[in-house]
Chains A and B, each alone.
Chain A
Amino acid sequence: MAAMPRNDLLLFLGFTLVVLAMPIWLQPFGAAYPDLLQRFMIFGIFAVGFNILFGLTGYLSFGHAAFFGVGSYAAVWSFKLLSLDVIPALIFAIVVSGVFALVIGFISLRRSGIYFSILTLAFAQMSYNMAYSVLTPITNGETGLQLTLSDPRYLDRAIFEAVPGQPVPTLLGQSLGGFAGFYFCAGFLIIAFFIAQRITGSPFGMMLKGIKTNQTRMHYTGFNTKPYTLAAFVISGMYAGLAGALLAVTDPLAGAERMQWTASGEVVLMTILGGAGTLVGPVIGAWLIKYFENIFSAINDSILRRFFDFLPDGVDSAMVTVASKFVGEGWFLTLGLVFVIIVIFLPGGIMEGVRRIAHLFNRAPKAPGKANPQPQPAE
């Protein structure tokens, strides 16, 4: 920590503060309830990990949801077979998803560009299709893998007496529902962010950025780039596995849908929306999309009517009619429009917008989270 440059330290501390204070500053936005906060953390980890691969090396994986899903399944199996404690589950999930990423990465990284993207997509789609159907004994298919009273839980049974009631994951006997779960996940997001920051600044990170800029030149200077990209791929797969496992911790169910290509696409969108290659961008992108999905989709006509109540009669009902096309079941339309607008006007994602605003005020960008000299989106 001592060796950290001052800017990095400020960024890290600012980020930590913003994350831990989320239950306060999200209150006015109606998002300060534990489940959504947990999701903010989990998908933040997912996006940070994805960015280690995509943002640094420029390899666009379209199959990262597979590692997320494998992490979830591994964690739930650990709950079922070993113990309800989350520590073995998380370790198990990270290891399994790391191995899985090693295999897929080893094969897929033989190709680059869109051929790499399609290879990862193909592996993820195969995993999804198999999980939904043939692998049902392992994944419980459509219904999703859940905890039941009759799970063996060998480790727990050997040490403790059986606790009756619906089994829920615990941390050393402490239940992780509600805000406790949020702080648990927030801790992991902060650690994940810290590691990502260290990787970006390390020689290893430099190497990855070199690969992104010009892989051929790296070859000519005598580097074998494959081990570096593979390492980045596995690290980012383990991040995804950790995120998947945390989702299983806060909500002990693993469903096949979280491996579908749309889920892989979602993390790509999060990263690019926030600003690929930046540290904070992917996290912001993840928060924004999850906010849309959970809050915008829940706004119905009666909420709108209350919102536009101050307007005169007639005008307010007209506003409700117009606005209802964009919220509730129309939230997806709003999301699509936001994508189009952001990509057209802010190619570098939200982080570029932040930079531009900072530039506009012509102040030296000091505020943490805004002082990010990371260049450009990915190619």
Chain B
Amino acid sequence: MTILKRGLSRRRVLQTGLAGIIGTGISPMIFSRGAWAQEFCNNPTGDTVTFGLNLPLTGAYAEEGADEQKAYELAIKHLNGEGDGGLISVLTPTALKGNGVLGKKVTFVTSDSQTKSDVARAGATRMIERDGAIMITGGSSSGEAIAVQGLCQELGVIFMAGLTHSNDTTGKDKRRYGFRHFFNAYQSGVGLAPVLAEAYGADRRAYHLTADYTWGWTQEESIKNATEALGWQTVEAVRTPLGAADFSQYLTPILNSGADVLILNHYGTDMVNSLTQAVQFGMRDRQANGKDFQIVTPLISELMAKGAGENVKGVYGTSNWHWNLQDPGTIAFTKSFGAAYGSPPSQAAHTAYVQALLYADAVERAGTFYPPEVIKALEGFEFDGMGNGPTLYRAEDHQCIKNVLVVQGNESPTSEFDVLNIVQEIPREDVAYDPAMFGGELGPAEPVPMCA
């Protein structure tokens, strides 16, 4: 271990030395930000500390991004002791005092990730290198999350993932510096399948339409395994190109395929379009095998439900969280968010808010911003009051184990926000799984890599 440390630090000195020779007189930045000025990346020395928000503000998930940004701004206000304090009062246990983090006032910088992994990484790098962000958070796709998580591991900055649902984020691509509060495709499957079997019977023939990329595949596999375990058959699983817009050519073969359930493993606008078009094909008025034909959308959000309009009525899916839950945490957050922005928060906003608070709390408990100590504080942290019941930040894969919601499209919405009903809260014991199941390796926390 000592040899390793010496080797790395020698390389570090060489590198800094070289950069110094080239850069003397050219860049004064090198001296203020050189390796010897701080013992880890972006150690906050002033009286403020900066969070880096990496959000899709343009592109397909812009709405999620905008909602996440609202939530982060709210969380930062609450951390600084402004506003009504939000969830700080209900988080148990908590070390937060409402005077910033370790007495430093929290500020933030933002970056538009455009829902592209490349751009997300560039934005995260900018926020770390130029703006001195101590932590990166946000994002609304698994591709982004995995790409940024890898980067953060290299630079030694903690990444608190936003909306990412792929098993890989805390599975085969997990990283020591990356943490996910959101649930995953596997949990959707095991949570949803029993509800489906109860509602539609154990003798069903399912037809999958799957977005043709990594997230789609993991979700298809998870749902297939979970439903087949309960006696369902899978007629066919068809891959559709991302952003296909018109899905009709994939919908026509379903009509006479002998399937009686259509499972749409899509997300975002793909889901809005495929669901709308499937309903237009009369799938919900059809009979097949003597049963009513059904459509299932394993992962659904309020924003997607709004986009699909009345087509979503009665359709089952899963969510990480819903503003209509009745625990004190949810009530406090919904009220706080509603008062600030005039609408209830989405699940993307919730997970973003909670991630920001959890990071700040871990820093308070660790008593330092030094990433390995913060990681230790987060790993295995058991907490409650954030709207998902008792929750464990699992040390083995950095996945939060908590309750998962099965939801259904509301048949008679009372407002434009009232689009989903909670059918069942699946207790966390039922959706917990062996962390070794999806492979992967967290990698080391120390020595702390140094950003430039």
Contacts and interface: CB of A to CB of B under 8 A. Distances in A.
A adjacent to B, CB under 8 Å? yes
A266 B118 CA distance: 15
B37 to A, nearest CB: 14
Nearest to A299: B110
Interface in B142-162: 142-143, 146-147, 150-151, 153-154
A129 B18 CA distance: 42
Interface in B38-84: 57-58, 62, 66
A174 B12 CA distance: 9
A255 B110 contact: no
B345 interface: no
Contacts of B119: 257, 293
A136 B211 CA distance: 13
Interface in A132-159: 132-133, 136, 140-144, 146, 148-150
B7 A144 contact: no
B22 A173 contact: no
A334 interface: no
B213 A142 contact: yes
Interface string A170-194: 0001110111100100000000000
B118 A300 contact: no
A23 B30 CA distance: 11
B437 interface: no
Contact of B213 (A132, A163, A294): A132
A146 B148 CA distance: 11
A250 B119 CA distance: 14
Interface in B71-129: 107, 109-112, 116-119, 121-123, 125-126, 129
Q: How large is the interface on B (under 10, 10 to 19, 20 to 34, 35 or more residues)?
A: 35 or more
Given A142-B142, A178-B19, A297-B112, A32 B118 contact: no
Given A34-B129, A149-B443, A141 B118 contact: no
Contacts, number: 155
Contacts of B122: 35-36, 39, 251, 294
B239 A133 contact: yes
A258 interface: yes
* Interface-central residue, A150, A175, A331, A332, by most chain B CB under 10 Å: A175
A258 B168 CA distance: 22
B214 A180 contact: no
B118 A255 contact: yes
Interface stretch (B315-323, B369-377, B420-428, B444-452): B444-452
A302 B106 CA distance: 13
Contact of B15 (A129, A133, A174, A253): A174
A149 B441 contact: yes
B62 A179 contact: no
Contact of B110 (A133, A179, A253, A300): A300
Nearest to B130: A33
A336 interface: no
B199 interface: no
Contact of A136 (B18, B66, B125, B214): B214
B11 A175 contact: yes
Contacts of B26: 20-21, 23-24
Contacts of B241: 129, 132-133
Given A165-B447, A251-B125, A143 B15 contact: no
Nearest to A36: B126
Contacts of B66: 329
A367 interface: no
Nearest to A297: B112
A175 B7 CA distance: 13
A230 B154 CA distance: 41
Contacts of A168: 154
A166 interface: yes
Given A253-B118, A298-B111, A143 B130 contact: no
A373 interface: no
Interface of A: 20-21, 23-24, 30, 32-36, 39, 129, 132-133, 136, 140-144, 146, 148-150, 163-166, 168, 173-175, 177-180, 183, 251, 253, 255, 257-258, 293-294, 297-298, 300, 302, 328-329, 331-332
Given A32-B27, A251-B125, A302-B107, 18 more contacts: A24-B26, A35-B130, A142-B242, A143-B146, A143-B173, A144-B143, A164-B444, A165-B443, A165-B447, A174-B11, A178-B129, A180-B22, A253-B117, A255-B147, A257-B119, A294-B122, A328-B110, A331-B112
Interface of B: 4, 7-8, 11, 14-15, 18-19, 22-23, 26-27, 29-30, 57-58, 62, 66, 107, 109-112, 116-119, 121-123, 125-126, 129-130, 141-143, 146-147, 150-151, 153-154, 168, 173, 212-215, 239, 241-242, 441, 443-444, 447, 449, 451-452
19 contacts: A35-B125, A35-B126, A35-B130, A39-B122, A132-B241, A136-B213, A149-B443, A174-B15, A175-B11, A179-B19, A179-B27, A180-B19, A251-B122, A297-B111, A298-B110, A302-B107, A328-B57, A328-B112, A332-B58
